[in-house]
Structure 1
């Protein structure tokens, strides 16, 4: 494994204190009318940490955050580390039962949440499940109206004392890189969500490598649409900004009009996001009305980034740095393209292994795949997880004793060591003995002038076992399903051609911008049944 220098701080808490010393007057967070400096952010974080101490939180206890991106989310995150606690973020799209399951399994002691987001009161949703949460002692309401026994944010902060502040300073000094920092639960799209255990050293490594990957600096202004409960928003967002001293602009939801206006008004320089965000910007009817010339850095990542989308980002938007990366909750950012890469490399690969990482592609027998041959991606590096929470069997199934992680993603390496993603192993389907990779078919579909978005799944077929079904969000003028199929037949091998095409208004997405293939499978099954 290639040696790579790790973070220079022993913990995230120490990194936060360092940012206040290095960038005391620089604006750290802009949220609505609020603008707070790094010195002010640090003091708010210390006060939140001292309030946790007063609440009885001990080092290693778990603190959950179930809320939209906001100043309070950032303060709670950085503050819980001052108390030596461990972060457990909860997906904002989860229902009460799903959230309660995670809070129960992680033994969360304090939950920071909201009572008015997309029409939901999370306190009421939890109470409505009737699930016993014996470890949950305090619910803090960061935004919204009072609800249940929740403590409002200002009242919770008022619990901080001078003794509590002194205790946070002692706990910060005691934290080290091997202490547990966060438990992020997987999306659950392939089954029950699993809690991914990370340490301060590993998690800081994701943030500091993100700084190196993009050239993020104290002069940058970063709009944050990636949800903080996700690795991209938390580690490639908040922690990267704290490491570099950049200014954070949290977004509760992706509102393209608001984002474009903020880019123009605040001279935003960094705008990462899922492929769907860039697609929405490129398709925005009034994009030309906004001055986007300040934009410098675009970063996107997914198991199936459309090739054509990357080309359009480079050609039609003013970014000077366009980076495509590959990462996962269990591993951090494992590969990326480089700012100097040629357009074809950025458009067709997710680049080379990041410093300290090794990436292999293995065939079904576990041997090394040939260059260009699709197989499972396995990797190891400094930010690979410590394991799954309370699940040694699941950990052993994907993480070897010498640190190699089975990702479940399919891809191939070219002669240069650049990685191409073929999709998830669970998404691959076999048509008459031929392996069909949805990401490849989707990328080809996006070249059709009448296709705005596309997602492909495998569906049962009596003769061939499985065949492809494409869900297409069309452009105007709208093509027919038969026209799309005929177009595919002229350009794809027969086994790749979708046998069915359904035109839909929008693709079902997770909160982090991934297509919910399980929802499409259910839709296809319902269609077959009728």
Structure 2
């Protein structure tokens, strides 16, 4: 054991000039930010520097090393440039499950200077059409399920120039090409050359707001890389404070379970991209299944899993059955929604060596913000942790004045990983950024005297179901498309497993059929967005004198009725 140091001493030592995590101030995209001076210049450099012969990607019986994945991605990059005409700055969409091709496509797109548009795999045809039109994607790589939606007549008619490359699709629709056939024909090639600057756009990920369509969150290479190195620095600081020294014998290669979709930052950043420099193996699942997850952790001797509270709660229940040893786990990470304090304690007691960790972050901050783990998290299970060192936090009142420690207000954030803005949404950017570069999170929070953040409420009208953001306004708009629905209010219903479920109260024509309404919604909403609880009101919904629906009053009445009375799936 080395001599433990204070947190501030560890930070000062690790970020000093010349050190691996040296920080310096510069201006990027018109903002003054703290950057890692030794960070890779782009994601492409990250991939090239880490293309080793260590195992990297596992899916069922398929396995690839880091080097093999880079070579396979290079073939995809060649197809995109020479077979599809993709140029730097073009948007290329990915719409599929967590197949290896998702990773290869993302690596290729961001290596040729294009912008990877990570489409929500749950989206139905209307939502996919919106995302493709909004982003201006010229090419989409899709699996069979998504391709069936993309080749529906209304999508094809609206996007006649869209090129579709199929992944794991036995029968190709007319006009669609198979990605594997194209890459097989290419053979061994190098990744096409590209000049990529740190502040070039790298990704667009869609996030649901409280009203209207999802917004495209644009991130640069610097945004993403600063988030990845921030996690590394947090870990290095924790090790210094604990007095840990590098082991005399290198430990076994770490491995993580990819249990969440790659179109979320928790999957893309925390499970996938952070693994390159760690040289961490990643085992992908077809879909979440707690029993199968436990079997994979045991068989592959995985050291970490990062998932929302609903999934880690499932894993706790499986672990406590004591059928499988999960003692290889070192960390059980979270995010997307807070864990109940009891689950935090259960994680600490259920996995042998594993300690829980979590943090607060957003798509707009590239998943980082604050972090907490180990003994700190067990002692403060309601906290989201301390601020990342490349970010700053403020708590403000309704007038924008900064509040002192312990007082609740809106959480603002700024710094290197904060996105430059929403894609083609100047009005949303004007509302979201204040005082130049402070981003309004919409979360109500406070920061204590020791710098620990506590999220206590949300200003935005959002439901977070198992880590998925669901905009109430979007669900209400879909309900109102039904000819028999005249009014609709959508709200969160607390749920022990998922954190929150979608509830709705509707008023409409006599005889409105709830099950028929649900069937109708499948054409317009992703499955996870469809209300689990639907309450039919016989009278018009209550409103304020100005005509605004009294949603809180409606929600309270519905929650009282849900005590065994709600209509559910």
Shorter-chain TM-score tier: 0.7 to 0.9
Would you say the 8 A contact 2:39–2:226 is kept in 1? no
Q: How does 1:279-290 map to 2 (within 5 A)?
A: 279-284=313-318, 287-290=321-324
Give the CA deviation at 1:413: 1.1
Tell whether the 8 Å contact from 1:178 to 1:199 is kept in structure 2 after alignment. yes
What are the within-5 Å matches in structure 2 for residues 63-82 of structure 1? 63-82=92-111
User: Does structure 2 retain, via aligned residues, the 8 Å contact 1:204–1:235?
Assistant: no
SS across alignment from 1:288: coil
Three-state SS of the structure 2 residue aligned to 1:383 is: coil
Within the alignment, does 1:185 sit opposite 2:197 as a pair? no
Matched residue, 2:486: none
Structure 2 CA distance for partners of 1:394 and 1:271, relative to 1, 3 Å: same
Could you tell me how far 1:219 is from its partner in structure 2? 1.9
Structure 2 residue 333 is matched with structure 1 residue 299: yes
1:41 corresponds, among 61, 69, 88, to 69
- 1:12 paired with 2:43, answer yes
Specify which of 117, 131, 144 is matched with residue 88 of structure 1. Answer: 117
CA gap 1:6/1:393 in 2 versus in 1, 3 angstroms: farther
Equivalent position to 1:519, from 531, 534, 551: 531
**What CA distance in whole angstroms lies between the structure 2 residues aligned with 1:400 and 1:364?**
13
- Superposed CA deviations along residues 246-292 of structure 1, whole A, max 9, x for unmatched, are 11111221111111001111111011111011111122387311010
- 8 Å CA contact 2:118–2:204 kept in 1: the answer is yes
Corresponding residue of 2:351: 317
Q: Is it true that 1:367 corresponds to 2:383 in the alignment?
A: no
The residue aligned with 1:486 is: none
Alignment of 1:159-178 (within 5 A): 160=186, 165=189, 168-171=191-194, 174-178=195-199
1:155 aligns with 2:181: yes
Q: Which residue of 1 aligns with 2:220?
A: 199
Check conservation: 1:281, 1:287, Cα contact below 8 A: no
Closer, same or farther: CA 334–188 of 1 in aligned 2, 3 Å: same
Equivalent position SS for 1:268? coil
Asked whether the equivalents of residues 377 and 383 of structure 2 are also in contact (C-alpha less than 8 Å), the reply is: no
Q: What residue number does 1:337 align with?
A: 372
Query: Relative to 1, partners in 2 of residues 1:82 and 1:469: Cα closer, same or farther, differing over 3 Å?
Result: closer
* Aligned partner (choices 260, 274, 278) of residue 240 of structure 1: 274
Q: Deviations over 1:495-529 (max 9, x none)?
A: xxxxxxxxxxxxxxxxxxx9979836855869689
Native 8 Å contact 1:218 1:246 kept in 2 = no
Give the conservation status (yes or no) of the 8 Å contact 1:360–1:378: yes
Deviations 1:298-326 (CA, angstroms, capped at 9, x unpaired) = 11013433222212212222344421100
CA distance in 2 between counterparts of 1:190 and 1:203 reads 27
Closer, same or farther: CA 285–196 of 1 in aligned 2, 3 Å: closer
Matched residue, 1:109: 138
Query: How far apart, in 2, do the equivalents of 1:135 and 1:59 lie?
Result: 22
Correspondence for 1:100 among 117, 126, 129 = 129
SS of aligned partner of 2:182? helix
Task: Name the structure 2 match of 1:125.
Answer: 149
Q: Secondary structure at the match of 1:207?
A: helix
- The CA distance in 2 between the partners of 1:281 and 1:320, in whole Å, is 12
Separation in 2, partners of 1:183, 1:348: 31
Q: What corresponds to 1:326 in structure 2?
A: 360
Scaled by the length of structure 1, the TM-score of the pair is 0.77
Distance in 2 (CA, whole Å) between partners of 1:197 and 1:89 is: 11
Residue 166 (structure 2) aligns with: 141
Question: Which runs of 5 or more structure 1 residues have no equivalent in the other structure?
Answer: 116-120, 429-437, 443-456, 458-465, 475-513
1:366: how far off? 1.5
Deviation at 1:244, TM superposition (A): 1.8
Once residues 416 and 304 of structure 1 are traced to their aligned partners in structure 2, the CA distance between those partners, rounded to angstroms, is 20
- CA 1:517–1:44 in 2, change beyond 3 Å: closer, same or farther? closer
Contact 1:299 1:324 in 2 (8 A): yes
Partners of 1:218 and 1:175 in 2: CA distance? 34
Q: CA deviation at 1:384?
A: 0.3
Cα gap change, 1:340 to 1:12, in 2 (>3 Å): same
Equivalent residue runs for 1:460-499 within 5 Å? 471-472=494-495
Cα RMSD for the two superposed structures: 3.2
CA-to-partner distance for each residue in 1:127-186, whole Å, 9 max, x for gaps? 225134447532111123223132122112135377xx45x4421xx1121110001111
Q: Which TM-score applies when normalising by structure 2?
A: 0.72
Please say if residues 226 and 390 of structure 2, whose CA atoms lie closer than 8 Å, have aligned partners that are also in contact: no
The 8 Å contact of residues 7 and 205 in structure 1, kept in 2 or not, is answered as: no
Are residues 280 and 320 of structure 1, via their aligned partners in 2, closer, same or farther at CA, if it must alter by over 3 Å? closer
Q: How many residues align?
A: 444
Cα deviation, residue 206, structure 1? 1.9
5 Å matches for 1:215-294?
A: 219-284=253-318, 287-294=321-328
Q: Cα deviations across residues 340-372 of structure 1 (Å, max 9, x unaligned)?
A: 526222x12001101121111111221123433
| Contact 1:304–1:422 (8 Å) recurs in 2 | no
Q: Is the alpha carbon distance of 1:150 and 1:189 closer, same or farther for their aligned partners in structure 2, counting shifts above 3 Å? A: farther
